[in-house]
Structures are given as C-alpha cells and as structure tokens.
Amino acid sequence: MVVSGLVHLAAMGAALTVWRPGDTMGTLAPRLVFVDLPSVTPASSTPDVASIDRSLEPSVPAALAQHAAELGATNTELSGRLRDQEERTAQLEARHRQEVAGLEAAASALGDELAAVTADRTALSRALAASREQVSALEQELETRRQTEDAARAEMEAAWERLVTSLRQEIADKDVALERANAQVTVAIVDRVLFPSGQAGLTPDGERVIDKLGAVLAGMPDRRIRIEGHTDDVPVGEELRSRFPSNWDLSTARATTVVQRLIDQAHIAPGRLEATGRADTEPVTSNTTEAGRRRNRRIEIILLPPAAGETRTPS
C-alpha cells in the first residue's frame, strides 16, 4: 500500500508539473491516472515498478515540446515585429536627417539672401544719402543762381534807368536808341553823332556821348562790353582807301576808337571790352534810301551778362 501511494503521488506531481496557469481542472483529469498496485507482502523489500503503467511517460515531453514550439512561434513573430519596427525607425531617422539637412540648407540659403539684402540695403542707403547731398547741392546752386540772376536783373534795371536819364536828349533826337532783351542791353548810336564822314576819330559830341555811357558802364564792373561797328553798303571812297581799304576796316577802326575812349576816360578794365567790325553785314533796315543807310551806319555798345561761373562783385 505504501508503494502504491508513492506511485500515485509521483503521478500527481508529474501531472501538476505539466499544468500551466489558466488550465482548468477539467484538462488535468485525463492526465491523472490512478493505478491500484497489488499488495506487497512485507517479505518483499523492493516494489515491482515494472508493473507501473508507463502510459504517463510520453505525455510530459510532448507537452513541453508543444509549449516550446508555441514559444518559438511567438518569438519568431516578435522578432519579425522588432525587425519591422527597426526598419521603420531607420526610415524615420533617415527621413528626419534628410529633413534636417534640407532645413539647414534652406537656412543657409536664407542667410546668404539676408546678407545680400542687407548689403543692397546698405548700398541703397549710401546712394540715397549721396543723392540727397547732390540734391541739396543742386538746390543751393539753383538758389545761388536765382539770387545772382535777381541781382543782375536789378542791376540791369538800374543801369537802364541811368542810361535813359543820361541820354534822354539823344534818345529824343533819335541819335541814340536803347534796346533791352533778357539780361542784355544794346545802345545804338548813329555814326554822324560820333564820327565825321569817312573818319574813325570821335567828334566832340561823340566824346561827350561816349563819356556819358562810360560813367554808367563803370558802375557795372562784372559786365562784359562789346562794341560793334556797322556801315552801310556803300564802298569806301577813293580818297579813304589808303587808310580803310574796306568797310570792314572802317567799322573795326571806329569800334576800336570807342573802346580806347572807355579805357582812357571811364577807366573800364580792358579785359571787359572787345571791339568788332561788322561792316554792312547786319543792317537794321534797307540801304535803298539815304535814311536807311544813315540808320545802318552806327556803333552798338552791348552790355552782356556776366560770363558763366564769373564771381559777381558789389557795384
């Protein structure tokens, strides 16, 4: 009986070893086989183990193998999932690196563009500052020129009034004519007032008229003065050709005589004066009549504007 109990205990232990958590007792029942061993007499010291039902021996390894197979399948499945996860992780990391590289490249390009924009802005700022300085300089130059022109007009207006006052009688006698155009004034004097016929020397009346003009012109030190001699179209007579071969020579000699008088008596600087002979090339009227020829024989004293860039001096 003792041996039979031990065998039953061993069988129950083997069955419990195979049992897993979650198995119900119903699944254990078929694995527990109780064997009734024959009674052993006390004289027999060794039980007859050969008589134990050996049907229990194959069940334990089979269950273990099945469990191992299940574990292997689970491990394979998990390994596959792990590989998939690793591949996805690698792909995500590669994509992340690519995106980071793209962002870094974009940031570098933006940095270069920003630097270029900053450089352009600096250059534009400098150009704008230079333009403003240029505009300021031009405005100042324009204002200076405006003031100069205003002063020149005022001066010319005053000179005009003085000329009209000084030559009032000559103007009334039509021996002198005044003409004003912009900043230029022309004083035309008929030759019979200034010179004897065919001569280049001033008459006393001519000297008096030129001295009146000189007194006015001396008060305009920044004005250039051009004296032009004009004749009619009648050639120089035989008796005068030895001195004046042509009307060009006669008109130039008379203009030079007036210039010399302005220098000597009015003390006008020679650099302000110029003498020019025009002969009969610029008539003011027709030479078909004596009255017309008389008007064409004249001396013109022209007050010119100051030369460009010339510094004005107070008068």
pLDDT on residue 39: 54
Instruction: Count other Cβ atoms within 10 Å, centred on residue 35.
Output: 13
pLDDT above 60: residue 19:
no
Residue whose C-alpha is closest to residue 229's, from 307, 138, 297: 297
Q: Which residues contact 126 (CB under 8 A, 6 or more apart)?
A: none
- 145 or 56, which is more confident? 145
Q: Where are the domains of the chain?
A: 167-304
Phi, psi of 148 (to 5 degrees): -65, -45
Return the CATH architecture of domain 167-304: 2-Layer Sandwich (3.30)
pLDDT above 80: residue 51:
no
Residue whose C-alpha is closest to residue 189's, from 181, 199, 179, 201: 179
Most confident of 61-75, 127-141, 146-160: 127-141
pLDDT on residue 38: 54
pLDDT above 60: residue 133:
yes
Taking only the tens place, the pLDDT of each residue in 214-255 is 999 998 888 899 999 999 999 998 888 889 999 999 999 999
pLDDT on residue 10: 58
- 165 or 40, which is more confident? 165
262 with 288: CB under 8 angstroms?
Answer: no
pLDDT on residue 20: 54
pLDDT on residue 22: 53
Instruction: Count other Cβ atoms within 10 Å, centred on residue 225.
Output: 21
51 with 37: CB under 8 angstroms?
Answer: yes
pLDDT band at 184 (very low <50, low <70, confident <90, very high): confident
Taking only the tens place, the pLDDT of each residue in 267-298 is 999 999 999 999 999 999 999 999 999 999 99
Residue whose C-alpha is closest to residue 289's, from 237, 235, 233: 233
Q: Which residues contact 23 (CB under 8 A, 6 or more apart)?
A: none
pLDDT on residue 48: 53
Share of the chain above pLDDT 90, in %: 50
Structure tokens at 249: 């020579």
Taking only the tens place, the pLDDT of each residue in 88-124 is 899 999 989 999 999 989 999 989 989 999 999 999 9
Residue whose C-alpha is closest to residue 305's, from 226, 243, 193, 252: 226
pLDDT on residue 141: 92
299 with 227: CB under 8 angstroms?
Answer: yes
Range of lowest pLDDT (111-120, 146-155, 161-170): 146-155
pLDDT band at 53 (very low <50, low <70, confident <90, very high): low
Cβ-in-10-Å burial (0-12, 13-18, 19+) of 60 comes to: middle
Mean pLDDT of the chain: 83
276 with 227: CB under 8 angstroms?
Answer: yes
Q: Which residues contact 159 (CB under 8 A, 6 or more apart)?
A: 185, 216, 219, 220, 303
Q: What is the pTM of this model?
A: 0.56
Stated as kind and residue range, the H or E segment containing 160 is helix 59-166
